[in-house]
Structure 1
Amino acid sequence: MAENMPEIKIDADNMYREESFTDLKVGSIRRLIPVTASGDDDASREVHYEGSASLMTPAGSLPLSFELEADDLAGAIEKFPDAVNQAAEKAIDELKEMQRQQSQKIQVPGQENYGGGQGGGGGRIQF
């Protein structure tokens, strides 16, 4: 193992068994069931549900992942439409913000510190 690599260790007190459900069309739901380090169900912790789907964009598929606050699979299925819409809106907003930030950057080839007076290009545009 590399000298500067941190030790990677599984948290034996935070283990989950995963079950996956899908309609083969829109998305999938994962049920995460808490288990002990020996693999037995751990009733002292809550079951978690997570949804996933893909949003098709002009640039390709954008994966969405989101938590579903539900007590059972039927509740997770019921909450899926609203949760996927919220995740899609959030992803679209984040993409728009990234595009806005990128559009405000002026990049001149050869200058790493544009406007700082110490750029590598001496103020000339390089081709």
Structure 2
Amino acid sequence: MRVRAAGVNPTDWKQRATGGLLGEPPFVLGRDLSGDTSVDSLRVLRPGGIVVSILPVGSGELHDEAERLGGRAARILVDADRAGTREVARLVEAGQLRATIAGTFPLADAAGAHRLGDTGRTAGKLVLTVD
């Protein structure tokens, strides 16, 4: 996995939360889910750890629970601006940034893409095409 090259150790957090994995609990946990799963993520961290999400971290519930458990919660927000978009395009063209595509669907089958996404078993982006 490309993330391993950056020193990241991906794991199944649900298995980790139930004691299914051995080793030191993570200090930083990246999340791309919202709701109860983000709050549950806090219980996986070692004391003082942080859950970082690309989605809104809620109206305080996640922050409150993080504080109660001795951790923190934060959101990473990237503004879409011209300079940033150009840099992303440059990285793609240079082969330094690639997206994993889990499936491609015609716009007319957007419901099919949603059904696949709802399974929670996709590894990558679902792409809608306009013909």
Give the TM-score normalised by the residue count of structure 2: 0.21
Task: Looking at secondary structure, tell me which structure has more helix per residue.
Answer: 2
Task: Looking at secondary structure, tell me which structure has more strand per residue.
Answer: 1
Larger radius of gyration: 1
Give the TM-score normalised by the residue count of structure 1: 0.22
